[in-house]
Amino acid sequence: MTELLNSLSAVDIATGVADGTFTAEAVTTACLDHIASREETVGAWEFLDPERALAQARAVDAAEVKGPMAGVPVGVKDIIDTHDMPTGMGSPIYDGHQPAADASCVAQMRAAGAVILGKTVTCEFAGLTPRKTSNPHDPTRTPGGSSSGSAAAVADQMVPVAFGTQTGGSVLRPSSYCGIIGYKPSFDTFSLTGVYPAAESLDTLGLHARSLDDIELMSAAMLRRPFTPVTDIKKPPVVGFCKTSMWDAALPETHDALEAAAAAMQAAGAMVRDFELPEEFDWLGELRGMINGWERADVMADEWARNRDALSAQMQGTIQGGLDTPYRDYVDAMHLMEACRARTTQSFEGCDVLLTPAVDGEAPVGLAETGSPRFQALWTMLHTPSITLPTHKGPNGLPVGIQLVAPYRADRSLLGIARWTLEACK
Amino acid sequence: MTELLNSLSAVDIATGVADGTFTAEAVTTACLDHIASREETVGAWEFLDPERALAQARAVDAAEVKGPMAGVPVGVKDIIDTHDMPTGMGSPIYDGHQPAADASCVAQMRAAGAVILGKTVTCEFAGLTPRKTSNPHDPTRTPGGSSSGSAAAVADQMVPVAFGTQTGGSVLRPSSYCGIIGYKPSFDTFSLTGVYPAAESLDTLGLHARSLDDIELMSAAMLRRPFTPVTDIKKPPVVGFCKTSMWDAALPETHDALEAAAAAMQAAGAMVRDFELPEEFDWLGELRGMINGWERADVMADEWARNRDALSAQMQGTIQGGLDTPYRDYVDAMHLMEACRARTTQSFEGCDVLLTPAVDGEAPVGLAETGSPRFQALWTMLHTPSITLPTHKGPNGLPVGIQLVAPYRADRSLLGIARWTLEACK
């Protein structure tokens, strides 16, 4: 059985450990064995100490009371602090850096009985400059970024679940490219204490998983509510098909995936109608660069002052752009973004959910770039919860996800509709 | 002259250092000498290394180009990271803790030529449990908290300016008690990178100073805009006199101060009218405890798991309260708070500014508690910018500030009206 434990869902692992079907140690061992066989190809891990992981698993096995995530191995993006493992931010500046405390989300996982397996590869400071990770479906292609290692590790069955962060598209893009579920909750849902910022008005802690119930299991542990599986919605949803003004820039496989999903949802009983964003939303793409650059320059004031040469040329350019931006322009951009938010956070004109592209298409060839964040970033700016589902494949047989978006704080509804959508698209 | 340099404003220091009237070293020496004579009574500093401060000052003197804050000594609340000084969070858990990087605001001060003089005393994790600081006007009384050391140090002319943080009333209350200006900008104005959180939906970095121009000098350095002194407003403001539903709980000296300020502003030409908050705002006081507790439990998940016994009984109670709160109740509280925010962030029904109590009254006797945050916390929850001005005194000759509040992001207008108000109340 050991060789299969790494492919189980987090819910099945927690259940099996709690009822004694297998041990947490056996699960961790299975994950470590699988990593050993695949890591040279995938390169998902920045820090991994098998003995440290196994010690945690044995402690879970020895504990009398099993938590709701007993024995579940979790991957942690390497911009998220861990008190017992270095946290390198994907940058030589923080090589070997050892935080004093766990990030809130890490402490919450431990409290629930999870095993912090190791630290997953992040792009430099959760930005655009990638490191060593490749796409598990085709190692010549990017896994996406910046949560590259977390998405690749979950896709490759190295761990059932992992933490990512999204400021532009850093959870949903790699999840789509790697063929898993990527979930960015409503802004401010999960604590960011102990997570290195990128742009403070946009940063969101997100989750990578292979099952919706695993998303809910982690959410429940962090939001301190009892876990209940994601249940069917009572009636098919009203779906707004939101192609966005960037539709023509997407590749045919994205057009095909979205059209097919819309048709499948309609066939399953949903009312699907076109949903157009007001014209001023077209500005959000341009505003994003300005807001991101301005806030990056804030966040990284210390690194800029003391370690500028250790930053990538790309990051230096982003920060310099922020430093060159007048405050007035930044505030104007914030006002416009907030006005757009106010128009979408309460409702989508009667739609329960929006169906919208997750990515331009399949993961691009090459490891030097991580793909375009445009289709994910629009919704990050709006603070709405979004999820990508691995429903389709492109011309090369690689995953092409779809994206569902719900109004602000309608996260639980989003998960229910996502479950219904997975069934409809089967 | 040296013995007076510590009493200069930040603007005067930067000007004098830039034009060679005196050196940054002389300023820092004057501040250190004054601290040496007063610290035993006031107890404002958690960490102070004279040599480290003087080395920074000498580097400023040696630099060819002087920054806009050249040679200005700055106090930094001890929950704000400094790469070259320990950051203890007011807790034995972080005793001697050395961060890897400067907080954004600290790096921005250094880039502007300021001298990071040392770390000022904070209540435990910027909460309610005080440490050693006393009120410089009367050492038997609290300086307020949680930015106790920053407010006391500025009031005592140990530094011209200092950083504080406000989640309830931690900048404005100690500023009022100590008789200085305390400024809490609009939520999300200054970066919180490297600042230990208390409650993430409320935390705001704020400033303590003795002059409005010094507030603008620091703001300009952080917001990367040129410094221009706070100028007179073109015509007297429309003032909403907002007594709030807590008015009867305030002490007579607060009633007197506010009535006198309203009369003085009217005499100076302002239109002053009563301003009543809608009834549902009365709930905010109760919601605050719930929101604060819930988010505290998130933020401090690691300390709770690994160092619970090292937390004060008060902090343990706050966290336990948060853990006992159902997520649903927290979300309902957030919705109500956000609805209140939406009603006040855009405008105050034609008022340019609200005049409202800053505190219950003079600083209470005793050092075991830091006074009530109720009059400050209301506006922290609303994300509006607020400022306390040291306009009045109570029956014991101790300071009683007034508070001015402006709509969201009308910070610059608030400073202008504050300047006008200081004149009007002279």
Q: Encode pLDDT of B316-341 as tens digits.
A: 999 999 999 999 999 999 999 999 99
Is residue B345 scored above 80 in pLDDT?
Answer: no
Buried b (16+ CB within 10 A) or exposed e, A235-271: ebbbbbbbbbebeeebbebbebbbeebbebbbeeebe
Q: What confidence tens digit (pLDDT) does each residue in B262-283 have?
A: 999 999 999 999 999 999 899 9
Average pLDDT for A333-344: 92
More confident residue, A35 or B286: A35
The CA-atom distances, in angstroms, between B50 and each of A253, B5, B25, B154 are: 65, 16, 11, 18
Count CB-CB contacts under 10 A for residue A324: 12
Identify whether A410 is part of a domain: no
Let me know if residue B185 belongs to a domain.
yes
Residues A365 and B24: their CA atoms lie apart, in Å, by: 56
- Check residue B347 and give its pLDDT: 76
Confidence (pLDDT) at B232: 84
**Which residue in A77, A119, A184, A243 is the catalytic one?**
A77
* CB spacing of A106 vs B302 below 8 angstroms: yes
Q: Higher-confidence residue: A344 or A307?
A: A307
pLDDT score recorded for residue B84: 98
- State which residue of chain B sits closest to A224, comparing Cα positions: B327
Look up the pTM and report it.
0.97
Catalytic residue (one of B9, B66, B77, B186): B77
Q: Does any domain span residue B372? A: no
Q: What is the torsion angle, in degrees rounded to the nearest 10, for the CA atoms of residue B130, residue B136, residue B138 and residue B143?
A: -30
- pLDDT, residue A249, reads 95
With the C-alpha atoms ordered B36, B41, B44, B46, is the resulting torsion angle positive or negative? positive
Q: What is the pLDDT of residues B198-227, one digit of tens each?
A: 999 999 999 999 999 999 999 999 999 999
CA distances from A25 to A34, A48, A100, B163, B174 (A): 14, 16, 26, 48, 52
The answer to whether the beta carbons of residues B308 and B316 sit under 8 Å apart is: yes
The residue whose two tokens read 């830039």 is B18
Angle, CA of B378, B364 and B282, to the nearest 5°: 20
- Supply A420's token pair: 């219904």
In what side-by-side order are the strands of the sheet with B115-120? B45-48, B115-120, B73-77, B161-166, B204-209, B181-184, B386-393, B399-405, B353-357, B238-241, B271-274
In this prediction, what percent of chain B has a pLDDT beyond 90? 96
B362 inside domain: no
Q: What are B107-134's pLDDT values in tens digits?
A: 999 999 999 999 999 999 999 999 999 9
For the cut 70, the answer to whether the pLDDT of residue B155 exceeds it is yes
Pick from B352, B359, B340: nearest CA to B415: B352
pLDDT for A402 equals 98
In whole angstroms, give the CA distance from residue B186 to residue B405: 10
CB A194 to CB B302 under 8 A? yes
Instruction: Give the confidence band of B239 by pLDDT, cuts at 50, 70, 90.
Output: very high
In a domain, A232, yes or no: no
**Mean pLDDT in residue range B148-169:** 98
Over chain B, what is the mean pLDDT?
97
pLDDT at position A232: 84
Contacts of B188 in chain A (CB under 8 A): 200-201
- Is residue A312 annotated as a catalytic residue, yes or no? no
Asked whether the beta carbons of B145 and B128 are under 8 A apart, the reply is yes
Q: Is the pLDDT of residue B3 over 60?
A: no
| Percent of chain B surpassing pLDDT 70 | 99
- In sequence order, the 6+-apart residues with CB closer than 8 A to the CB of B160 are B8, B9, B10, B13, B72, B73, B154, B209, B210, B211, B214
Q: Mean per-residue pLDDT for B10-25?
A: 98
Closest in B188, B302, B331 to A83, CB measured: B302
What contacts A20, CB < 8 A, 6 or more positions away? Answer: none
Report chain A residues touching chain B, CB-CB < 8 A: 83, 94, 97, 100-104, 106-108, 110-111, 188, 191-194, 197, 200-201, 223-225, 295, 297-306, 323, 326-328, 331, 335, 409
The burial of B369, by beta-carbon neighbours within 10 Å (0-12 exposed, 13-18 middle, 19 or more buried), is given as: middle
User: In angstroms, rounded to a whole number, what is the distance separating the alpha carbons of residues A404 and A261?
Assistant: 11
CA B84, CA B93: separation in Å to the nearest integer? 19
Average pLDDT over residues A47-57: 98
Q: Which residue of A has its CA nearest to B331?
A: A409
Q: What's chain A's average pLDDT?
A: 97
The predicted pLDDT at position A343 comes to 86
Could you tell me which residues are beta bridge partners of residue A403? A356, A388
Where are the alpha helices (H) located in A169-326, listed in sequence order? 172-178, 212-223, 252-267, 284-299, 301-306, 313-323
Region of A188 (left: φ > 0; alpha: ψ -120 to 50; beta: rest) is left
Q: Give how far the C-alpha of residue A59 lies from the chain's centroid of Cα atoms, to the nearest Å.
A: 29
Instruction: Tally helices (H) and strands (E) across chain B.
Output: 15, 11
Q: Does a structural domain hold residue B45?
A: yes
The total number of structural domains in chain A stands at: 1
Q: Any idea what the CATH number is for the domain that residue A50 is in?
A: 3.90.1300.10
Residue A89 in domain: yes
Q: Rounded CA gap, A160 and B357, in Å? A: 54
B50 exposure class (CB count in 10 Å sphere: 0-12, 13-18, 19+):
middle
Of residues A103 and A345, the one with the higher pLDDT is A103
Interface contact B107-A305, CB threshold 8 A: yes
**Is the model's pLDDT at B2 over the cut of 60?**
no
- Smallest CA–CA distance, residue A19 to chain B, in Å, is 25
Q: State the residue range of the domain holding A115.
A: 7-223
pLDDT for A35 equals 98
Mean pLDDT of B24-51: 98
Q: Do A298 and B327 touch (CB under 8 A)?
A: no
CA–CA gap between residue A347 and residue A407 (Å, rounded): 6
pLDDT at A1 over 70: no
Judged by DSSP in three states, B421 sits in helix
Is B251 part of any domain?
no
B73 with B52: CB under 8 angstroms?
A: no
Asked whether the beta carbons of B354 and B404 are under 8 A apart, the reply is yes
Q: Measured in Å, how far apart are chain A's first and last C-alpha atoms?
A: 28
Report CB contact under 8 Å: A102, B301. yes
* pLDDT at position A3: 52
Asked if the model's pLDDT at residue B1 lies above 90, the reply is no
pLDDT, mean of residues A222-230: 96
Q: Burial, A55: exposed, middle or buried (Cβ in 10 Å; 0-12, 13-18, 19+)? A: middle
What's the ipTM? 0.96
Q: What are A154-190's pLDDT values in tens digits?
A: 999 999 999 999 999 999 999 999 999 999 999 999 9
The reported pLDDT for the residue numbered B344 is 81
**pLDDT band (50, 70, 90) for residue A377:** very high
Average pLDDT rounded to a whole number, residues A121-129: 98
List residues of chain B with CB under 8 Å from any CB of chain A: 83, 94, 97, 100-104, 106-108, 110-111, 188, 191-194, 197, 200-201, 223-225, 295, 297-299, 301-306, 323, 326-328, 331, 335, 409
Q: Give the bridge partners for B74, in sequence order.
A: B116, B161
